[in-house]
Amino acid sequence: MPIDFSLTDEQKELQKLARRFAKEQIAPIAAEYDAKEEVPWGVVEKLHEVGLLNAIIPEAYGGLGLGMLEEVIIGEELAWGCMGIYTIPMASDLGITPILLAGTHEQKQRFFKKLTEKPALAAFALSEPGNGSDAAALRTRAVREGDHYVLSGTKTWISNGGEAETVVVFATIAPELRHKGVIAIVVEKGTPGFTAHKLHGKMGQRASGTYELVFEDCRVPAENLLGQEGDGFKIAMHTLDKTRIPVAAGSVGVARRALEEATKYAKEREAFGKPIAEFQAIQFKLAEMLMGLETARAYTYYAAWLTDQGLPQAHAAAIAKAYASEMAFEAANQAIQIHGGFGYMHEYPVEKLLRDVKLNQIYEGTNEIQRLIIARHILSQ
Residues classed as catalytic: 364
Nearest Cα to Cα of residue 263 among 164, 212, 334: 334
Nearest Cα to Cα of residue 72 among 48, 95, 55: 55
Task: With residue 195 as reference, give the H or E element that holds it.
Answer: strand 194-198
In the three-class reduction of DSSP (H, G, I as helix; E, B as strand; rest coil), residue 150 is classed as strand
27-36 vs 83-102: helix crossing angle, rounded to 10: 90
Q: Between β-strands 122-125 and 182-188, what pairing exists: parallel, antiparallel or unpaired?
A: unpaired
149 bridge partner residues: 144, 220
Nearest Cα to Cα of residue 138 among 175, 177, 180: 175
- Confirm if 96 and 186 have CB atoms less than 8 A apart: no
Q: How far is CA 127 from the centre of its chain?
A: 15
Nearest Cα to Cα of residue 285 among 297, 272, 276: 276
Residue type, 57: I
In the three-class reduction of DSSP (H, G, I as helix; E, B as strand; rest coil), residue 160 is classed as coil
In whole angstroms, what is the distance from residue 86 CA to residue 257 CA?
14
- What one-character DSSP code corresponds to residue 208? S
